[in-house]
Amino acid sequence: MKLEYKESFADWYVHNRARFTPTNAALFSTLQKVGVRGRVLDYGGGDGCYAERLIQEGADQVIVLDASFPMLQAGKKRQEKEVSNIFFEAARGERIPHPSETFDLVFSNFCLHYIAHSAQAIREVCRVLKKNGAFVGTVSDVWLPMGSESLEDSTLPLTFAGGPPVPTLVKTGQRIREEMRAAGLRVVSWELPPNPTAAMAEGYPERDKIRIRSGLFVARKV
Q: Distance (Å, rounded) from C-alpha 89 to C-alpha 74?
A: 13
Beta strand pairing call for 129-143 and 211-221:
antiparallel
Does residue 72 contact residue 66 with C-beta atoms inside 8 Å? yes
Phi, psi of 85 (to 5 degrees): -115, 20
What are the extents of the domains in the chain?
8-221
Read off the pLDDT of each residue in 215-220 and give the average, rounded to a whole number. 98
The pTM score is 0.91
Amino acid at 35: G
Q: What pLDDT score does 17 carry?
A: 66
Query: Could you report the per-residue pLDDT of 12-66, keeping only the tens digit for each?
Result: 776 676 666 678 889 999 999 999 999 999 999 888 889 989 999 999 999 999 9
- Per-residue pLDDT at 151 exceeds 90: yes
Give the Cα separation of 221 and 129 in Å (integer): 7
**SS3 at position 10:** helix
CATH superfamily of 8-221: Vaccinia Virus protein VP39 (3.40.50.150)
Average pLDDT, the chain: 90
